[in-house]
Amino acid sequence: MVTIKSKKEIELMKEACRITSLVYKEIEKVIKPGMSTLELDKFAEKVIHENGGIPAQKGYPSGMRGVPNFPATLCISINDEVIHGIPSAHKIIHDGDLVSVDLVVCKNGFNGDAARTFIVGNASKEAKNLVEVTKQAFFEGIQYAKPGNRIGDISHAIGEYVEKNGYSVVREFQGHGIGREMHEDPGIPNYGKAGKGIRLEPGMTLAIEPMVIAGKHDIYQDEDGWTILTDDGSLSAHYENTILITEKEPEVLTLV
């Protein structure tokens, strides 16, 4: 069931999204070669707590027997890791790495969700282009995030833009509604047919998140039960924001 947020709920949600945005600004200042992903994770958790938030992904259930709950504040995925990478003291960020960070902050019972891929040090031209296309795919998609349009209009625009640029979108994972729960209806694929899916209405809050692979779209899950990697070892990038459907243009809540 898709929830329509009240004005009061939207204001509460904006605060969670503000903290989410703030964390990324702080990460950008400190991320560097030689840093462990666990160090980055602890830094982000400190920023969240200092601003009265809760790291919503910490302890999130895997839903799979024998796989423990997610142990960290951030999902940190490097190079051919697409999403859900687990921070570790042994995983070191190197010059030229693409570091994808996914974060959900909860405050006052509402969630803000965003993801960024950071280019650390001196990356290749191809890596930089992948990150830029992934980011732009989000903005291509939200051009259609208006009342009366359908979810499929967003999905189609994202997929078409990515493939036009010679890349692939991940098909097994998608964007989603968000609010009191981290994952709410509707699901929002990064590919599909325009004119399909539910109609958009003011008050809907959605997490739109292109996940893009430089090679083929095939992926696999690591033995840790969380980390998703590209099957062909090619680079991947991730860009996400929480948006609000308004009477006119969409409002991006995690860009403040």
At 66-80, the pLDDT tens digits run: 999 999 999 999 999
Q: Is the pTM of this model over 0.85?
A: yes
Domain range enclosing 93: 7-252
Query: Does residue 102 belong to any structural domain of this protein?
Result: yes
- CA–CA gap between residue 33 and residue 135 (Å, rounded): 23
Secondary structure E strands in 108-144? 110-119
Residue 203 lies inside a defined structural domain of this protein = yes
In a domain, residue 239? The reply is yes
Q: Is there a contact between 98 and 119 (Cβ–Cβ < 8 Å)?
A: yes
Rounded to whole angstroms, the Cα distance separating 107 from 39 reads: 23
Whether 176 maps to a domain, the answer reads: yes
Number of neighbouring beta carbons within 10 Å of residue 40? 24
Q: Which helix (H) or strand (E) holds 186?
A: strand 184-188
Task: Tell me whether residue 159 is in a domain.
Answer: yes
Is 242 among the domain residues?
yes
Q: Does a structural domain hold residue 94?
A: yes
Is 96:39 a contact under the CB 8 Å cutoff?
A: no
Domain tally for the chain? 1
CATH label of the domain that carries residue 164:
3.90.230.10
Put residue 144 in one of left, alpha, beta given phi > 0 → left and psi -120 to 50 → alpha.
Answer: alpha
Residue 2 in domain: no
pLDDT tens string 107-164: 999 999 999 999 999 999 999 999 999 999 999 999 999 999 999 999 999 999 999 9
